[in-house]
Amino acid sequence: MSTIPPQKAKPFLLIVDDDPLIAETLSFILQGDFEVITADSRPSAIALVRQAQQAPGLALIDLGLPPLPHRPDEGFALIRELLAHDPDIRIVVLSGQNDESNARHARALGATDFVAKPADPDHIKRVLLDALSFRLTDAAQAESTDCKLLGNSPPIQKLRLQLQQYADSPFPILIEGESGSGKEIAASCCLHLHSERRNKPYFALNCAAISPSLVEPTLFGYAKGAFTGATGNKSGYFEDAGDGTLFLDEIGELPLELQAKLLRVLENGEFQRVGETQTRRSRARVIAATNRDLRKEVREGRFRGDLYHRLSVFTVSVPPLREMGSDRLLLLEHFRRQYAQTSGRPAFRLSPGAEQAWLEYPFPGNVRELRNIVIRLTAKYPGMQVEPDVLADEFDEQSSPTESLDGANWFDIALHELQTRGGVDLDETLRRWEQAYVDAAQQLAKGNITQAARLLGINRTTLYNRIETLARNKPQAKQH
């Protein structure tokens, strides 16, 4: 694993590839435009990012990483973890795992683009620079205080009303929602900026993106000599936030031993810096967010029940995009106009058939996935009309339109698919559903096979066998 270079003007690029020759060649080619850091595995990449003072703005990653270099699982998990660390990081996949289903799934998870090996170095550079330009566009947008939830669907109207009601509450607020649905926007823009605390500090900590050993000193501060490297006294987020807001994203990842200390702060405002006995007090309002079912986590002993009840004095749910109906077109227009304007390229347009496909697609990656699709279409088809076959290449085949049928039972789903498609390949349909559940369980379990097996109601060995079988039966899978 490489060391972290000092801060420079060039944007940081993280390259993750287990082939040292490829990593070194890419570093040499791209070092003129980027400050390059490299890693050869998912754990080393995450450790490197956690050491950095700020996350790299770009990542170029392989899917086939150890210990499973001939399968894309580690690469998919790395995409999730990098986005958990920084939701705005732009990820470009450069991989020999280049069958189309892998490309689609990587994009659905949040990757900005997919480039198959072998690739022309100039093409890789252009893709990275395009991704960087769109990231800078998002950064400029984020500085605007005009931060509104887009949409007119009933779920968005309900969310907007709840956020207005709770904005000035001094009590904790819990935001629930799937990855990529916009929980941080709800916290920073809708709850903090629209409250009486808008001119007070706002601090955010992603509990999934920071090493567990650093969570306590980051939140509560530390005294000189409290641990190796503590060369002076330092305040934590609870002190620095003052009368403002502290946002704890992915609160379900908070270690159990720290949950009791967080509960104490929420109950009476009291905490201590690491290595101190002096009691201090916090006045910050806490907003927490999670993509997990914390009630289930409580039942299974992974989250304290008393902390859950304290955090959820007020609870709001950010709806998944599949429940937002025609708001998908409104978001399409918003991002299409935004990226066309800032990139200086004419906006693309959807044909009537493509627009219908857009409305039927469930967007499993939610707003983040929709935004990335718009970025790619803006870069590839400026001023052009996009047809359904082009969109089909962008959509994740593991997420069929039938997944957006609200409240439908299995018979209704089967009937709908048979009627609309005129028949199905039953073996492939069953394989696709099984793959989707296995992938979803691994995502919820953060790659922990034992927990994933528990979610699926099978034992660990059975899950390993099914993963191997699915990998062997995947159509046209190419080896790394």
Q: Are residues 362 and 396 in the same domain?
A: yes
Q: Are residues 49 and 172 in the same domain?
A: no
d(CA 152, CA 160): 10
Report how many helices (DSSP H) and strands (DSSP E) the chain contains, helices first.
Answer: 20, 14
Q: Are residues 196 and 81 in the same domain?
A: no
Whether 299 contacts 157, CB under 8 Å? no
The answer to whether residue 232 is domain-embedded is: yes
- DSSP-assigned letter for residue 284: P
Q: Are residues 179 and 209 in the same domain?
A: yes
Q: Are residues 171 and 249 in the same domain?
A: yes
Q: Are residues 259 and 233 in the same domain?
A: yes
d(CA 385, CA 320): 28
For residue 443, the enclosing domain spans 425-473
d(CA 236, CA 215): 10
Whether 329 contacts 358, CB under 8 Å? yes
The answer to whether residue 278 is domain-embedded is: yes
Please give the tally of structural domains in the chain: 4
Closest C-alpha to 138, from 105, 176, 112:
112
Of 288, 317, 346, the one marking the end of a domain is 317
- DSSP-assigned letter for residue 191: I
The answer to whether residue 173 is domain-embedded is: yes
Whether 181 contacts 320, CB under 8 Å? yes
Q: Are residues 305 and 350 in the same domain?
A: no
pLDDT for residue 113: 86
d(CA 189, CA 240): 20
Whether 404 contacts 362, CB under 8 Å? yes
Q: Are residues 66 and 123 in the same domain?
A: yes
Of 364, 387, 402, the one marking the end of a domain is 402
pLDDT for residue 70: 82
Q: Are residues 220 and 302 in the same domain?
A: yes
Strands 280-281, 270-271: pairing kind = antiparallel
Helix, strand or coil, per DSSP, at residue 399: coil
Strand partners, 12: 35
Residues 6+ apart with CB under 8 A from 117: 94, 95, 96, 98
CB atoms under 10 Å from CB of 300, counted, come to: 11
Helix, strand or coil, per DSSP, at residue 119: coil
- DSSP-assigned letter for residue 142: H
d(CA 124, CA 56): 17
Q: Are residues 127 and 162 in the same domain?
A: no
Write out the two tokens for 371: 């935004």
Helix, strand or coil, per DSSP, at residue 208: coil
d(CA 238, CA 220): 6
The CATH number of the domain where 272 resides is what? 3.40.50.300
**Beta sheet of 173-176, edge-to-edge order:** 202-206, 245-249, 285-290, 173-176, 314-317
Q: Are residues 229 and 304 in the same domain?
A: yes
The answer to whether residue 412 is domain-embedded is: no
d(CA 237, CA 218): 6
d(CA 257, CA 262): 10
Q: Are residues 310 and 328 in the same domain?
A: no
CB atoms under 10 Å from CB of 417, counted, come to: 17
The CATH number of the domain where 363 resides is what? 1.10.8.60
Whether 91 contacts 61, CB under 8 Å? yes
Query: What tens-digit pLDDT sequence spans the chain (480 residues)?
Result: 444 444 446 888 999 999 999 889 999 999 888 989 999 999 999 888 877 766 788 999 999 898 888 888 889 889 988 887 777 788 999 887 656 778 888 888 888 888 888 888 888 888 888 888 776 555 444 444 445 678 889 999 999 999 999 999 899 999 999 888 889 889 988 898 888 998 999 999 988 777 788 889 999 999 988 888 888 999 999 999 999 999 999 999 898 889 999 999 999 999 999 999 999 999 999 999 998 889 989 998 889 999 999 999 999 999 999 999 999 999 999 999 988 888 888 999 999 999 999 998 989 889 989 998 998 899 889 999 999 999 988 887 654 433 433 334 455 556 656 655 567 778 877 888 888 888 888 877 777 787 788 888 887 778 887 888 888 776 654 444
Of 358, 387, 402, the one marking the end of a domain is 402
Residue bearing tokens 């994933």: 452
Whether 82 contacts 111, CB under 8 Å? no
Residue bearing tokens 């916290």: 187
d(CA 13, CA 20): 16
